[in-house]
Amino acid sequence: MRDEIYRIAREAIRNTALHANAQRIEAKLAYGEAEFCLRVRDDGVGINSEILVHRRPGHWGLQGMRERAESFGARFKVWSEAGAGTEIELTVPARDLLRTRKAAGNLMVGHAR
């Protein structure tokens, strides 16, 4: 799960750098009792609504991020408006992170034997 979250964050920042013509990119990570949340926001040109719905031919960035998020039960949202930038949000329930962490810990303990 950690690797998938990293890949989603990397793709969001990469998309901003390649397509947004942004002056500013913000990345925010928040982790609390209820959830882990990743937000990447820019002040760029925004994403055409057709691309948000159907994707850009030959490009898999948003689609790939959605599929990665779905693969481990996370919520993935995209907001964008022409001239107002784009924001992606990935939210993972804390219970899922803890379950994954405990499973990894058990594997590590088993591996150490």
Per residue in 34-76, pLDDT (tens digit) is 999 999 999 999 987 777 666 665 556 788 899 999 999 999 9
Judge contact between 45 and 86, C-beta under 8 A.
no
Instruction: Give mean pLDDT, residues 87-113.
Output: 66
Q: What is the pLDDT of residues 20-38, one digit of tens each?
A: 999 999 999 999 989 999 9
Q: 83-103 burial by CB neighbour count: b if 16+ within 10 A, else e?
A: eebbbbbbbbeeeebeeeeee
User: How many structural domains compose the chain?
Assistant: 1
Domain carrying residue 7: 2-112
- Between CA 79 and CA 113 the distance in angstroms is 48
CATH number of the domain where residue 107 is located: 3.30.565.10
First to last CA, the chain: 24
pTM (two decimals): 0.78
